[in-house]
């Protein structure tokens, strides 16, 4: 899983360093997915029981899944979708105004 996360971060960084603003948004989306996978992996991927305590084991710990990483990831997905939607609308308006999606040609909006 570490290689997949590293690959997503590398691909996101590569896309963000491109000159096209659309590729910048794709890179941000890849960064968001990599961060979600990192939180999910650090939280401990397990096929344990749902987080409902019905019984405890002999050592006092219940074999349950931790719901906090899942809640954080769900929140991050919703916020990331909102930010990406806003960025796409903003980019659409900038391309209409400037006439290009090349970041080097967007030095001024005077046309």
Q: What is the mean pLDDT of residues 1-27?
A: 92
Percent of the chain with pLDDT over 70: 77
Tens digits of residue pLDDT in 83-105: 999 989 998 998 888 888 887 77
Tens digits of residue pLDDT in 65-85: 777 888 889 999 999 999 999
In the chain, what are the domain boundaries? 2-45+65-105
- In the prediction, which pLDDT does 50 show? 64
CB 50 within 8 A of CB 109: no
The pLDDT of residue 41 is above 60: yes
* CA angle (27 as vertex; 74, 14 as ends), nearest 5: 140
Residue 110 vs residue 6, higher pLDDT: 6
Residue 25 vs residue 107, higher pLDDT: 25
Q: What is the mean pLDDT of residues 17-23?
A: 86
Q: Which two tokens stand for residue 68?
A: 């906090």
> Would you tell me which CATH number, out of the four given (2.40.50, 1.10.287, 1.10.15, 2.40.30), belongs to the domain 2-45+65-105?
1.10.287
Q: Which two tokens stand for residue 24?
A: 């910048």
């Amino acid at each position: 899983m570490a290689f997949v996360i590293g690959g997503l971060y590398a691909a996101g960084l590569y896309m963000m360093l491109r000159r096209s603003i659309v590729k910048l948004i794709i890179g941000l989306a890849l960064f968001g997915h990599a961060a979600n996978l990192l939180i999910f992996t650090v939280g401990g991927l397990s096929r344990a029981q749902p987080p409902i305590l019905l019984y405890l084991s002999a050592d006092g710990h219940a074999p349950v899944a931790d719901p906090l990483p899942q809640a954080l990831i769900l929140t991050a997905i919703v916020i990331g979708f909102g930010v990406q939607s806003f960025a796409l609308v903003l980019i659409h308006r900038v391309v209409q105004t400037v006439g290009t999606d090349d970041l080097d040609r967007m030095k001024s909006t005077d046309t």
